[in-house]
Amino acid sequence: MKIAGKVLPLVLAVAAAFAWTPSKAAGPTPCVHRLLVLSAFPGEIDHLLAATNVTHFETVHGRDFFEGTLRGNPVALAMTGIGIENADHTTRIALAHFRCDGVLAIDGIVFSGVAGGRSFIGDVTIPRRWTIDDGKSWFGVDPTMLSIAQQAAASVHLTDSVPLGDLACVGLDPDLIETIHMPQQPTIITGGDGKTADPFGGRELPCIPGGGDVFGCRPCRAPGLPRTHAIRFARDAVPFVDPSFFTGYFKNPTPSSTTYDAEDMETASVARVAGQFGLPFIAFRAMSDGKGDPLKLPGFPFQFFIYRQLAADNAATTALAFLAAWAAR
């Protein structure tokens, strides 16, 4: 671990985390057309949120939205929560809320997060299409977005250092402490196929107030916790009291068995909603579990909890390069 010499950055990170207080306007925000930028859990969105000039924050039907500017684009950032149903619900809430005189004010959707897949841990995939039914039907990403992402990827340098993350979700820099280095340099893979699965059987997995950088209810860089999240947890957790649900979810799959470039639990759900509303969509998914593990861990969830922040950082870095190129097009 690289701990020496990081006391001052640690102090500064703590101060910054609690000093950052985006405004919460009393009235409606000005009518602005913007991109909707989504991630599933706190560790995925924090890198993006730290790069955003946040000007407004609001909670809509239990979902937090951070509005501002990101790499030259007016944006609304949000955590969908983990799973197909959460992703669908959050996306629909956003598209119903962000309107200008009743007209949709979201011009496109970008997803950044982690996944399993057949390539190396840390690699970033930008699939050209996604399936929610194991290949019976497909949702294609926007061709223009994919082309711009491919061009922007040429200038992106991905990290091979595995950060510890912000396990307790107290607002620290998740990259503050590095643990190991990957034996291979991560790369960006454009095109190919992505798959979204639903291990929750059509239920919304509830976030957990104070649940850390994976299961928590708010980005770690956003201090404070509204009561609505505690209420939502108490309401949504009931279907999950069966312990067999968790043992089934965390049953370890064979890491090399997938034929997909990326496998996750949200992307195709968001892509489906984007298609229904005629919106351009693209997703950046980096490998948190896959090949090249120097620790020889037996796949998900073991690899996920070690490499989740490495993957989240690389996905966000690639998404940020795309967003800069999208604003400059």
Average pLDDT over residues 193-211: 92
- 116-159 pLDDT per residue, tens: 999 999 999 999 999 999 999 999 999 999 999 999 999 999 99
Average pLDDT over residues 98-109: 96
Find the angle CA(27)-CA(32)-CA(34) to the nearest 5 degrees: 125
Average pLDDT, the chain: 85
The domain locations on the chain are 30-328
- 24-39 pLDDT per residue, tens: 443 445 689 999 999 9
Is the N-terminal amide bond of 163 cis, ω within 30° of 0? no
* Beta strands at 34-39 and 106-120: parallel, antiparallel or unpaired: parallel
**Cβ burial 113-137 (10 Å sphere, 16+ → b, else e):** bbbbbbbbbbbbbbbbbbbbeeeee
Q: How confident is the model at residue 242 (pLDDT cuts 50, 70, 90)?
A: low
Asked whether residue 46 carries a pLDDT value surpassing 70, the answer given is yes
Contact 285, 153 (CB under 8 A): no
Determine the number of helices (DSSP H) and then strands (DSSP E) in the chain: 9, 16
Percentage with pLDDT > 70 across the chain: 80
pLDDT for 296 equals 93
Amino acid at 297: L
Asked whether residue 224 carries a pLDDT value surpassing 70, the answer given is no
- 261-320 pLDDT per residue, tens: 999 999 999 999 999 999 999 999 999 999 999 999 988 889 999 999 999 999 999 999
pLDDT for 30 equals 65
Average pLDDT over residues 62-70: 96
User: In angstroms, rounded to a whole number, what is the distance separating the alpha carbons of residues 162 and 292?
Assistant: 13
Domain 30-328 adopts which CATH fold?
A: Rossmann fold (3.40.50)
Structure tokens at 65: 């939205």
pLDDT for 171 equals 83
- 154-190 pLDDT per residue, tens: 999 999 999 988 888 988 888 888 889 999 999 999 9
Asked whether residue 7 carries a pLDDT value surpassing 50, the answer given is no
Greater model confidence, 111 or 5? 111
